[in-house]
Structure 1
Amino acid sequence: MVSSRDLNGDSGRIKPASAAVTQNGHSNCGAVAFVPLKEKIDKRIQARDPWFSLEFFPPRTEKGATNLVGRLDRMGEGGPLFIDVTWHPAGDPGGDKVTSSTKIAGTVLNYCGIDTMLHMTCSNQTKTTVKKNLEKTKRLGVRSILALRGDAVGNDWQYNDDGLNYGSDLVRLIRDEYDDYFTICVAGYPKGHPDSESYEEDLLHLKQKVDAGADMIITQLFFKAEEFLKFQNDCRDIGIECPIIPGIFPIQTNRSLVQLTKLSKLDVPDDVRSAIEPIKDNDEAIRNYGVHYATALCKELLESGQVLGLHMYTLNLETATISILKSLGLWLPAISRPLPWKTSGNPERQANEVVRPIFWGARPKSYIHRTQNWDEFPNGRWGDSASPAFGELKDYHLFYLRSRTANEKLLQQWGELTDEFDVWKVFSLFISGEKNDGGYKISETPWCDGLSKETEVMRDRLIMYNNLGILTINSQPNINAMSSTHPVFGWGGEGGYLFQKAYLEFFVKPEYAEALKKVLPKYEPRVNYHMINRDGEDFTNADRQTPNGVTWGIFPGKEIVQPTVVDPVSFIVWKDEAFGLWMEKWGALYDPTSTPYKIIESICDSYYLVNLVDNDFPKESILWDVLDDMLTTAGVKKE
């Protein structure tokens, strides 16, 4: 949503855009058109292109949710086609708790940028409750559902006259209410469902679910490739033609094996039992065996020529699953990003969002959080800047924004400060990768969870300037007609050429800020600048209502794509967050009466936040010259 002045200068909202064409008739270049999961899978099958997907369950605690988001960020780098989140009836799955199934699924989709499927059960629920859960799922942007009957409450399942009793009932309801809006998946059982009277009867129940509208099947775990292949052939023989994806369970501990086979009522093969018995108390040995066993199983399935997709039951762990996928050659980090910033997985947002202010480059989850209520986004350009209604960031400790590093470890990294020079050193060591005096490597700062590949291009200079008190939090070098598939700068796909203006954003003490004001006029109009302190006192030579494009790309058959801008109004919004991080993330580690706390507080209260843009991108950047002039004017000599 947007305030009374929108980004196109009219009252109301931002002009709407679509994945293909804006209201002005221009293509919305750079937008990601929505492709339903069922179509993604069909295309992979037609191309004989193998894929994998991952399953996770909601954690029990808020800390667990924070850790899970970090794990999903890491596992998303391997290129899963989708992930799914299980439905835990005992954990208020349709509620708003951090640990609810819907909350986790929405977070994965919107903040981790991964296509997400949500499990949903119907047993022991009214149709009204199920419809409410479906509507909430739709609002979150989730477009795929694994429809399940669910487990009985107590020992016996009871028929519900006012509800949905079978998985086929839930599939039918989703199709009747939402047509093709959702991709619907159902569960298959290679050994037959434990509640069915026979294997053959269970196959007929599965066909009922497919006939009711299911698009695909994911199977329960199994131990032998021939079990799945027989099951798949039996499904084909009775007319089930949709994709069937085998569920793969990497054995990670004896306890997890016992629990999962008990829940699924499966017998563990004798060869597996005999292999695990001597090592059942050695988790590492069992994990190694599980990786080897699952890898061999997956290879046999893939080599059969009848399997292209693998669904991995991760148990919320990553090491074993990643090892298996790497051994199979399926772990494939993306060579080129669709856009230079981390995109959301929400289909509506993907179809319409093609431009962002550069300031949140290292905090994309915060940007998505603060713009989550925008129902429309700027078309292909940011437009005339006019106070977009960013949501306030009142809670820096939301589980998907929180640092995944424990406070005691952050203290080890950032240290017991004695003066502001210790703060400068933290910034410098973060970029250099060297250990601090306590022997700890600094892996993050409040403004950045890790360094981008682009930082390496400017590494030595950034280390030097940070040592001198120019505390950088965001930067990009200038590039001119760089290939869109470049391993460091690439985005947007093949055949394009990319351009960037040099950009630098940093905190400096008041003395440096005053010196900067004196030297900047001689670099105008080539260099645009904007500096502001915590109280909002700012100085700029930029048009306060006109964004400055700093990243763009040219691709065959398309309009120019301009995904990153320096927007003066958004910078003022970002200022509050950037200064807030000093105290919320760093100062909060210390006692308010302590010296380190007072140092951080003093910096937060007195320093300026500055951004510089060198508009002459074909030439060597002069931003370093600006900094050198500032230091000289301030009476500082570079070593």
Structure 2
Amino acid sequence: MAMRLADRIKTYISDRPFFTLEFFPPRTDQGFENLLLRIARLASLGPLAVSITWGAGGNTSDRSLELAGLAQHDYDIPTVMHLTCTNMEKGSIDEALNAAKERGISSILALRGDPPRGDEDWIPTDPRFVHGADLVRYIREQPEYSDFSIAVAAYPDGHTESTTDEDGEIEYLKQKVDAGADYIITQLFYDVDGFLRWEKKVRAAGITVPIIPGVMPIQTYSSFLRVTKLCGTKIPVKVMSELVEIRHDDQKVKDYGVNLAISMIKRITTEANIPGVHLCTLNLEKSVQRVISELGWSFPNYSKPATNKLITDVSAPSTPTTNRPSDLVISPHKATDSATSKLAVVAKQETEGGKGELNNAASWDDFPNGRFGDYKSPAFGDPNPWGTSNVSRPQAVQWGHPKTDADISGMFLRYLHSKLATTPFSPEPLFPESLMIIQHLERLTKKNWWTVGSQPAIDGAQSADEVVGWGPKGGYVYQKCFVEFFVEQADVERIEKKIQDKGLGWIDYFAASAEDEFRTNVPDGGRNAVTWGVFPGQEVAQSTIIEKESFLAWKDEACSIWADWASFYPPESAERKLLEGIRTRRWLVSIVHHDYKDPDALWKFLFEDEALV
């Protein structure tokens, strides 16, 4: 096995702190392959290690193992594999640990992951693993796993599922360390004062292992809102107010994110007993490169083992470690439809901006916007932090106890009327862009066609427009109208026939079921750019693209949301039967109308002349 990260930390010597980089497995094969190239480039900056996330309930386990193994073996980068222990079938923990050993992986970040939902007697979890400490203890007790170094998670801002106060959470952290953890990696945070206070309390509790704080450079305003909400991150008033002022200028947000990360890291590494930092990349490259370069930390990995005083004597006074300075949210600063914005909100991670036909790698970090960037992008996917789900118990309570299709329609209508702040597919409130098409979304919903993604047609709005604008100022943005919804198979067949008979080449569609049945009129390799922008000094940027690979990846995720929601109700309940039935019975459909100059073109097709709805 490769050198353990715990040992690398102990023997690390340099005039600057170390850094590690976090990645998640993209949802498509080409995104996966391109991420490997990105990891290789970022490895040249000299990270001490990289870490690979593990999806909720192990839903990315195969890709996580493959990515971690390739990073470790083919690219010779010390790799930490995240591993969650709840909602995993019995034996899967051993399988994952053995697979990691086979790939030469020697470091594990042991996480609890999603908490068991409902009553544990009907949740298929391994009873050996209820808390993160159980996983640490299990690894330590098995002779065959003695070579692993183990990290555990900590939450300076508090855990979103916690039922105790800060002192209680620190006691839980101590239990994980006492069970055998070698070091701690924290969840991302932005309140540096709060972290410094928390770190002192952790040390006062007798926890002496290294603490590596998690820092995420802000990439876009919308991705910042989404990830911090999932993590329960506390946002300082100053940071939030400064971001709100620039939220409509993507370049300014990106620059602000880089500068904020640099200032945070400088304070953390000089005012606390911290040996290094953990950078959450969201599979993006440019901002991380800028942070490392401007800190003066970019040089090859250390080669001389030595003892790091910061690690061996945590009781010593802190000393400076360096003197170097709703549906689819189409725009990076807003969630558009959002008549149920999961489609968009989930992926507001940056995706390929697009340069010419090839959409080359240099453009992948430029002014992204929406879930459907290019499916080849390394950032294509949903990086739920540390094995968490988008659906939580408090949210499920707000959505009620649906027993009929009419109950589901009622929930979506309440969201459209701003009486609900979220739906299972839209983790943020309705956004202003949705109001431009809200009457059409209402009409679809009242007929039990449940929209989970949409956007209005836009013909040359200024990029600084507060509702539909994106990218740098001085440009113009365009959008084709599209809508996505869940419907019965009979409705899919009606839609398909009308598009064939009356679409006249103006309409493309994709339709798929949870059982992988698939229909489309788009030729193989066909791709629909539905959002693009023209900016001074740049080629045309295609920031939102709908094609087969990205649609199917989203379909899988959207269908899994029904199952996640269903799991909060007992197996024989009417609610669970309804939601599981919807998942297996309904199809996800996406319809694009190419006439972006007529804002009503798609709706006329749907509602007029032998209306479908």
Could you state the TM-score of these two structures normalised by the residue count of structure 1? Answer: 0.47
